Amino acid sequence: MIGSATTASIFQPVQSVLQANASAKQTDSNELTESEEKQVQELKKRDQEVRTHEQSHKTIAGPYAGEIQYETQTGPDGKEYAVGGEVSIDASPVKGDPEATIRKMDIVIRAALAPAEPSPQDRAVASQAQAQRTEAQAELNEDAQKSDVEENEKSFIETLIDEQTSADHQRASSAYGNASSAQIAQATASILSAIAV
C-alpha cells in the first residue's frame, strides 16, 4: 500500500496552503497603508482633543450644561472618530434675581473659556455671558443706590420728626412752665388777699 494515496489525503496539504494564503490576504486587506495609518493617528488625536474640549465645558457648566453632541467621521479603519462637538450651556439670566444671575454668568464664562484653546463660538458665549453679568451688576447697583436713597430719605424724615417733636416738647414745657408761674402768682396773690382781709 505504499504509494497509494486517496484524493483527500493529496489535497489536504494543498487546502492548508490555500487557507493560509487566503488568511494572509485577509490580513493584508485589514492592514492599512502608511497614508491610512497616518490618517487614523490624526483622527485619534482630533477625537481626543474634541472629547477633552467638550467635557471641560460640561464639567465646569455643571447644571447649566446640556448633553454633549459629537460630529463623527469614519476612519479608514472603519471606526468612528469625533471631529467636532458642542454642548449647550444655559446662559439666560435668573429672572428677578441679579445676584443669582451674576453667580450663574460667572460659571458660564468659566465654562465657555475652560478648554485650553477656546473656539470663536466659546468666546462668543463668554462675551454674551459677560454682557448679562454686567447688566445684572448694573441692576444690583441701581437697587443698592435706590436703597441708599430710601434709607437717607427715611433717616432725614426721622430727623425732622425728632426735631419737630423736640421743638413741640420744648414749647409745651415752656408754656406749661409759664402757665404754672402765672398760676402760682395768682394763687399767691389770692392767699395774700385772704390773709389781709
**C-alpha span between 64 and 111 (Å, rounded):** 10
Predicted pLDDT at 30: 66
HSE, CB side, 13 Å, CA atoms: give it for residue 16. 6
Predicted pLDDT at 190: 72
72, β-bridge pairs:
82
pLDDT tens figures, 27-52: 344 689 999 999 999 999 999 999 99
**C-alpha span between 44 and 78 (Å, rounded):** 13
**CA-to-CA separations, 148 to 56, 101, 138, 145, 153, in angstroms, rounded:** 42, 22, 15, 5, 8
| Distance spanning both ends of the chain, measured CA to CA | 185
Predicted pLDDT at 71: 97
Predicted pLDDT at 74: 97
Q: Which three cell numbers stand for residue 63?
A: 447644571
- pLDDT below 70 — which residues of the chain? 1-30, 147-157, 159-160, 162, 165-185, 187-188, 197
Among 83, 25, 17, CA closest to 49:
83
Predicted pLDDT at 4: 36
pTM for the predicted model, two decimal places: 0.58
